[in-house]
C-alpha cells in the first residue's frame, strides 16, 4: 500500500515537474514573443504619397539651422541638403548658485541651451556684450551699479544672431573648447563657420534645437 502511494506520488511529481519545466522553456528570458510587423502599404499608398508631398517644412528653397545641443553640432540646411556641418559649443547644463548673504537668498541659474523651435530675431556685426549678473557671480566680481560698466566688446566674435531671451549664436575666444558644452546657454561657433551662418541666414531663419 505504502509502495503504491510512493509510486503514485512520484508519478504525480514527475508529471508536474515536466509540465513546469516545459512551461518555463516556452518563455524565453525576454518574456516576449517577437514577430515581424505587418505594415503593408496597401490601400494607403495614395494617402502616404500625398502626405509626403505636403509634409516637407520649411519649403525646399528656405534655409534653416539644426543644432544638436548634446553633441555640440550645428547644421545649416537648405531643404533636405546640409550646406554646412559645424562643431559648436552649447550650454554646459551646469547650475550656478549665488552665495546667500544676510540681505538676500542667493539666486541660481541653469545653463541650458533651450530645446525647441526658435528664430533669428536680430543680427549684429561686431557685437558688444552686456554682461549679465551671473557672469560677475561666476567670476567672483562685484556687480557694477552703472549699466554702462557692463558693456564689453570682442567677447562674442565678429557676429551675433539673437534668438530672444538673451540667447545668441555668436563667436568665441575659446575655439579650443568647441565640441564641448561650455556655454551659459548661447551657441558658440568658430570664426569661419560663424561667418557662413551669418551670411546665409536672414532674420527670421528658423532654428531647431534638440
Partner 1 sequence: MRTPHISRILVVALTAAVSLALVGTASAAEKPAAKPAAGKSAPAKSKAKGKGKAKEVDASAVAPPRMFGGGYPANPALKSWLAEAGTDSFYLVLDPPGRTLQLVLGGVVIRTFEVSEVKVATPRRWAGAAPLAKDWHERVWTGAKLDPPHPGARTEIVGPEIGTATGEVLVPPTPEEAIPVPSLYRIHFAEGLVLEMAGGVAEQKGELPPTELPGGFKEKIRMLREGAPDPLRVRVTLQPDAYSEIYRALPPGTDLVIVHGGK
86 strand-pairing partners: 74
Q: What single string gives the DSSP state of each residue in 121-189?
A: -EEEES-EEE--HHHHHHHT-PPPSSGGGGEEESTT-SEEEEEETTEEEE--S-GGGTTS--BSSSEEE
Q: CA angle, 90 as apex, 87 and 92 as ends, to 5°?
A: 130
Q: Closest distance between partner 1 and the C-beta of residue 6, in Å?
A: 17
Residues in contact with partner 1, shown as a per-residue x/- string from 29 to 58 under the rule CB under 8 A = xxxxxxxxx-xxxx-xx-xx-xx---x-xx
3-class DSSP assignment, residue 60: coil
Tell me how far CA of residue 193 lies from CA of 5, 43, 67, 204, 206, in angstroms: 87, 47, 13, 19, 17
Q: Closest distance between partner 1 and the C-beta of residue 157, in Å?
A: 17
The C-alpha atoms of residue 185 and residue 204 are separated, in whole angstroms, by 20
Q: Closest distance between partner 1 and the C-beta of residue 158, in Å?
A: 22
Q: Closest distance between partner 1 and the C-beta of residue 66, in Å?
A: 5
Residues in contact with partner 1, shown as a per-residue x/- string from 175 to 204 under the rule CB under 8 A = --x-xxxx----------------------
The C-alpha atoms of residue 40 and residue 37 are separated, in whole angstroms, by 9
Quick check: 92 binds partner 1 (CB under 8 A)?
A: yes
Which position among 20, 128, 151, 203 is part of the footprint of partner 1 (CB under 8 A)? 20
Q: Closest distance between partner 1 and the C-beta of residue 161, in Å?
A: 19
Quick check: 169 binds partner 1 (CB under 8 A)?
A: no
CB-wise, 63 or 195, nearer to partner 1? Answer: 63
Applying CB under 8 A, the residues found at the interface with partner 1 are 13, 16-17, 19-21, 23-24, 26-37, 39-42, 44-45, 47-48, 50-51, 55, 57-58, 64, 66, 68-72, 80, 92-99, 110, 115-117, 137-142, 174, 177, 179-182, 206, 208, 210
Amino acid at each position: 500500500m505504502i509502495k503504491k502511494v510512493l509510486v503514485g506520488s512520484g508519478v504525480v511529481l514527475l508529471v508536474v515537474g515536466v509540465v513546469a519545466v516545459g512551461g518555463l522553456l516556452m518563455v524565453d528570458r525576454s518574456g516576449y514573443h517577437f514577430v515581424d510587423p505587418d505594415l503593408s502599404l496597401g490601400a494607403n499608398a495614395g494617402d502616404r504619397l500625398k502626405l509626403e508631398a505636403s509634409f516637407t517644412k520649411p519649403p525646399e528653397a528656405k534655409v534653416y539651422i539644426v543644432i544638436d545641443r548634446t553633441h555640440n553640432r550645428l547644421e545649416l540646411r537648405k531643404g533636405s541638403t546640409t550646406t554646412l556641418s559645424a562643431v559648436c559649443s552649447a550650454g554646459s547644463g551646469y547650475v550656478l548658485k549665488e552665495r546667500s548673504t544676510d540681505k538676500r537668498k542667493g539666486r541660481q541659474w541653469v545653463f541650458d541651451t533651450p530645446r525647441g523651435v526658435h528664430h533669428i530675431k536680430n543680427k549684429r556685426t561686431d557685437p558688444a556684450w552686456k554682461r549679465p549678473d551671473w557672469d560677475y557671480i561666476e567670476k567672483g566680481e562685484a556687480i557694477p551699479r552703472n549699466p554702462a560698466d557692463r558693456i564689453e566688446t570682442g567677447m562674442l566674435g565678429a557676429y551675433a544672431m539673437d534668438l530672444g531671451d538673451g540667447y545668441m549664436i555668436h563667436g568665441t575666444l575659446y575655439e579650443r573648447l568647441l565640441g564641448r558644452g561650455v556655454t551659459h546657454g548661447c551657441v558658440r561657433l568658430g570664426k569661419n563657420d560663424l561667418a557662413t551662418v551669418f551670411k546665409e541666414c536672414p532674420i527670421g531663419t528658423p532654428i531647431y534645437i534638440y
